Amino acid sequence: MKKLHLITLLSVIALIISFFFDKEINKFIFGLNPSFLKSFMLILDNWVTSVVLFLVIPSIILFRKRKKMVFLWITLVLGYLIATVLKVLIVRERPDLALIQEDSFSFPSRHAAVAFSVLPFMLEEKHYWIWILAILIGLSRLILGVHYLSDVIAGGLIGYYVGYSLLRLYKKEIPF
């Protein structure tokens, strides 16, 4: 638990600091012009890819634990909904450097919220590869220029804690 508190503290500090340097960070990333990564990031950015990586594969892994699988689905929906409501309430414009067109506001990143919401469930199942995918999703949002770093960190925190909370609720065996 102490490790989780430390990670949370560091993430919140990173979030606060990133608010001050968001535009500079985006300009720096665009200045690197990682064009060889952009095609890969466009594939990762696709919602179909996200559904496969964060819904289908985890559901297959948890198929024999159906109640846990249902909690995972609820986690994904809640992470998505919370991020969506916050987007509407906060109304932060997206960066000017976007390579793709997005129709919603920037803060927080729904992609990051969805990707990180699965982490607690998959980590408990010893599927550590999910960390890499969640981080790649966050990076894709930065490299494609559709989010600021603070958007991605906030989305990741929201998603992770929605997942963590629902996993704890699941472990208490509270009936529907």
Residue 78 structural domain: 2-171
The pLDDT of residue 52 is 67
Pairwise CA distance, residues 8 & 105, whole Å: 25
> 3-state SS string over the chain?
CHHHHHHHHHHHHHHHHHHHHHHHHHHHHHHHCCHHHHHHHHHHHCHHHHHHHHHHHHHHHCCCCHHHHHHHHHHHHHHHHHHHHHHHHHCCCCCCCCCCCCCCCCCCCHHHHHHHHCHHHHHHCCCCHHHHHHHHHHHHHHHCCCCCHHHHHHHHHHHHHHHHHHHHHHHCCCCC
Query: Is the pLDDT at 86 greater than 60, yes or no?
Result: yes
Q: Is residue 78 part of a domain?
A: yes
- Tell me the catalytic residues: 111, 147
* pLDDT mean over 120-142: 87
* pLDDT mean over 62-87: 88
pTM: 0.83
The pLDDT of residue 1 is 63
Q: Is residue 176 part of a domain?
A: no
Q: Based on the structure, what is the number of domains in the chain? A: 1
The pLDDT of residue 159 is 95
Query: Is the pLDDT at 114 greater than 70, yes or no?
Result: yes
Q: Are 102 and 94 in contact (CB under 8 A)?
A: yes
Q: Is residue 124 part of a domain?
A: yes
The segment with the largest mean pLDDT, out of 3-7, 46-50, 78-82, 135-139, is 78-82
Q: Is 30 or 165 the better-scoring residue by pLDDT? A: 165
Query: Is the pLDDT at 53 greater than 70, yes or no?
Result: no
Q: Residues for the chain: how many in total?
A: 176
The pLDDT of residue 21 is 87
The pLDDT of residue 104 is 79
With tokens 């996200």, the residue in question is 50
**Exposure string over 18-47, b if 16+ CB within 10 A, otherwise e:** beeebeebbeebbeeeeeebbeebeebbee
Sign of dihedral through CA atoms 33, 44, 79, 58? negative
Q: Is residue 37 part of a domain?
A: yes
The pLDDT of residue 8 is 81
